[in-house]
Amino acid sequence: MSVTAKLLSVFRVDQQIQGLQSRLEGAERFLAEQTRQLAVLGTEKDSIDTQLRQLRASEANAEGESKRIEVHIDELREKMNNAATNKEYKAFLSEVNNLKEIRSTHDDQAIGFLEQIEALASKLEVVASSVAEKEKIRGVAEEQRQERSDEIADKLAELNAQRETLVTEVPKDAMAIYSELLTMRGEDAMAPLEIEDRKRHEYICGSSMMSVPVEVAASLMQGKLTISPNDGCILYLTPEAEDELKGAFKK
């Protein structure tokens, strides 16, 4: 068996491993996205909670100040009723009127805070509902991710063991070239040589879909590790192509 054929056996196993892992990776990406969205909603919910606490504190302060002023106004009115002179009465009245304006300001502030609280409380209800729904979706995503992991665990272990055996049969220098290409190109690390016109010696790299010289086909027929001059992938021959080229090179 040629070096290329041995590498192709490893490549076929790597394709199966990648196919299995891609199923798991898809589930992991979905879980990660749901987790991210839940975190965004959680941050928004926490922000609203903080705003509500601040607004409720401000509303309580405004209402408390209004009540304090109301008590003071009642005290002044009592003094007005017991005023000894008209001048003293008018002084108390003037102070009462000023306090009424101040109290009105606090009342308006309290009303404004209550309106904001009501709006934020409604928004919080919506966000909290979204959080609950997203937590359910994330829970399903976690289950799916675990299911995918369990589904492929045995097959993945089997393929990895098979790969380890196949790798021992490949020369180290060839394996190093292949490993680098697999990291860089993934599924395009290897590609078949396609025969465009055997009689005219027209061949195509199955990866770049560009023509390659006849020497490439000759190199493959000699069992040599052959790199595509177009994009650097490792070329190989399918059984059909090899049978067809045997006739061509015999002549």
Q: For helices 239-250 and 214-221, what crossing angle results, to 10°?
A: 100
Q: Which residues contact 135 (CB under 8 A, 6 or more apart)?
A: 38
3-state secondary structure of 212: strand
- For residues 167 and 14, the answer to whether their CB atoms sit within 8 Å is no
Contact 212, 229 (CB under 8 A): yes
pLDDT exceeds cutoff 70 at 250: no
Identify whether the C-beta of residue 234 lies closer than 8 Å to the C-beta of residue 226: yes
pLDDT of 251 strictly over 60 = no
The per-residue pLDDT for 246 is 82
State how far the alpha carbon of 102 is from the alpha carbons of 26, 37, 54, 63, 135, in Å: 63, 46, 22, 12, 48
* Tens of pLDDT, residues 115-160: 999 999 999 999 999 999 999 999 999 999 999 999 899 999 999 9
Q: Write the Ramachandran bin of 201: left for phi over 0, alpha for psi from -120 to 50, otherwise beta.
A: left
CB 148 within 8 A of CB 25: no
Closest CA to 124 of 41, 3, 60: 41
Phi, psi of 192 (to 5 degrees): -75, 150
Complete domains list, the chain, with CATH: 3-167 (1.10.287.1490), 173-250 (no CATH)
The amino acid occupying position 31 is L
Mean pLDDT taken over the chain:
93
Question: pLDDT tens-digit profile of 72-111?
Answer: 999 999 999 998 899 999 999 999 999 999 999 999 999 9
The pTM of this model reads: 0.66
Radius of gyration of the chain measured on its C-alpha atoms: 40
> DSSP letters along 207-220, please?
TT--EE-HHHHHHH
